[in-house]
Amino acid sequence: MQLLDGNKVAGIIKAEIAEEVMSIAAAGGKIPHLAAILVGNDGGSESYVANKVKDCEQVGFKSTLIRLESSVSESKLIEHISKLNNDPEIDGFIVQLPLPKHISEHKIIEAIDPGKDVDGFHPINIGRTVIGLPSYISATPFGILQLLSHYKIETAGKNCVVIGRSNIVGRPVSILLSQKGFDCTVTVCHSRTKNISSYTKNADIIIAALGQPEFLKANMVKEGSIIIDVGTTRVKSSSAKSGFKLTGDVAFDEVSKKCSFITPVPGGVGPMTRVGLLKNTLLAAKKVIYP
């Protein structure tokens, strides 16, 4: 069994990005600049955004954090978005989700200029991904694909089971892996799937993205399979200093004995997701997707 080491691969990609930023700077070009809008002060969102800012610093990007009160109106938030859409200094930006209940997330996402939508959540980017046009691919699917490709995992003709049909992980990764170039035969399982084992037992590649700690057990996977664990649930732990540990959707101890490759949690998909946003920001700065 080999670990798919997200920390290591993310480090390599970040170093490549940092190098590219240095050569842009050396040539007197514009330094990539990511902005993030954070509404309210939800603990999870605070730390996600803080990490994103830190990642930007590490690779030499500029970053701007815009903090808004949780009471901000939808129209006021859209005003901020319009300003970022029209600001040539900002290459790409994100609006950290979730948003307060009085604001429509869909409306907010559709207000973002697709060319600056480095989260890849705008329907136009999703639609372009589906039909195979250049697009910003959202960070987690992007990270998973990069990880598979780094470890030279053959995907063509493989039976791939994705567990979970969320708009930001399960659905897009299932579409991407089924497309030309990856060529997996992909099955999407979800909460209404009957006898999920009958699918996972035949899978060469399993992507677990349902958010249910240790859902995937050894008796559900076949010998030699490849396991990507997207789950990150905080579970109480007496051994952890914080009293919590991040737990994946895969029962790592037992499944890792049976599979050929597996991502750890933490240190697998997580760091790759963070790098996905950086990569999209670089693409935005270089105007690769929307020339």
80 binds a second copy (CB under 8 A): no
CB-based burial label for 93 (10 Å; 0-12, 13-18, 19+): buried
Q: Report if residue 7 touches a second copy, rule: CB under 8 A.
A: no
**119 in active site:** yes
For a second copy, give the closer residue by CB, 127 or 243.
127
CA 205 – CA 224 distance, rounded (Å)? 9
Shortest Cβ 192–a second copy spacing (Å): 4
- Give residues with Cβ within 8 angstroms of 14, minimum separation 6: 55, 58, 59, 275, 278
Binding-residue pattern over the window 201 to 230 for a second copy, x denoting contact by CB under 8 A: -x----------------------------
Q: Among 51, 58, 70, 179, which residue interacts with a second copy (rule: CB under 8 A)?
A: 179
- Residue 147 dihedral angles phi and psi, to the nearest 5°: -65, -45
Q: Catalytic one among 55, 113, 119, 249?
A: 119
Q: Rule CB under 8 A: which of 84-123 touch a second copy?
A: 106, 122-123
Q: Which is nearer to a second copy, 47 or 260 (CB)?
A: 260
Answer yes or no whether residue 142 interacts with a second copy by CB under 8 A. Answer: no
Active-site residue identified among 96, 146, 258, 279: 96
Residue of 8, 1, 7 lying closest to 261 (CA atoms) = 1
Can residue 245 be called a binding residue for a second copy (CB under 8 A)? no
Tally the C-alpha atoms within 13 A of residue 142's C-alpha that lie toward its C-beta.
Answer: 25
* Active-site annotation holds for 179: no
* 140 near a second copy, judged by CB under 8 A: no
- Is 18 a binding residue for a second copy by CB under 8 A? The answer is no
Distances (CA, A) of 249 to 15, 63, 188, 232: 30, 33, 16, 7
- Closest to 129 (Cα-Cα) out of 84, 82, 168: 168
Q: 29 CB contacts (<8 Å, ≥6 apart)?
A: none
Does 15 contact a second copy by CB under 8 A? no
**According to CB under 8 A, which one of 48, 61, 142, 199 is a site residue for a second copy?**
199
**Residue 107, H or E segment:** helix 105-111
Q: Is 2 part of the annotated catalytic residue set?
A: no
266 φ/ψ sector (left φ>0, alpha ψ -120 to 50, else beta): beta
* Active site residue ranges: 52, 96, 119
Q: What residue ranges bind a second copy (CB under 8 A)?
A: 106, 122-128, 130-133, 156-157, 159, 165, 167, 171-172, 175, 178-179, 183, 185-190, 192-194, 198-199, 202
